[in-house]
Amino acid sequence: MRVLMLALVMLFLPVLAQASSCELSIDSTDQMRYSKAELTVPSDCETVTLTLNHTGSLPKTTMGHNWVLVETDQLSALAKDAMAAGPANNYVPSDDERVLAATELVGGGESTSVEFSVADLKDKDLSFFCSFPGHFALMKGKFIIE
């Protein structure tokens, strides 16, 4: 019986390891900071689940945060357009092809998640940022698929 249990664990261990390595978490604060400046996932991930936690206490109307994935060369232009999208759209332009993934806007004590495919992103230079007005200058980082 022990041999069978060990065999089953060995069989499913790679599946469990991949699932956890394709799930990311990042915190944001009332000081306009992310907890990480770089997020990395293995190249064998087909989809990624990212959870954004707002560890501060201020409401989303004054210190809201989101997480937006973009090709690095599009970050500045998208950040400007995102501000114009307004809070009703989580400061993310609707149907904008530059937005590769985005969470909802959250306030202090809240969390949100987004699941997205990375199948077509593996050879791209990627960055993430917060699109709340004025935040992207401090709240940005690199997204790496290796």
CATH number at residue 76: 2.60.40.420
The pTM assigned to this predicted structure is: 0.86
Q: Does 36 map to a domain?
A: yes
Asked whether residue 8 is assigned to any structural domain, the reply reads no
Q: Is residue 17 part of a domain?
A: no
Please name the residue that has the structure tokens 């590769």. 100
Handedness of CA 25, 60, 34, 117 (dihedral sign): positive
Q: Which residue's structure tokens are 């990480």?
A: 36
Q: How confident is the model at residue 1 (pLDDT cuts 50, 70, 90)?
A: low
Single-letter code of the amino acid located at 89: N
Other Cβ atoms closer than 10 A to 77: 11
Residue 28 located in a structural domain: yes
* pLDDT above 90: residue 11: no
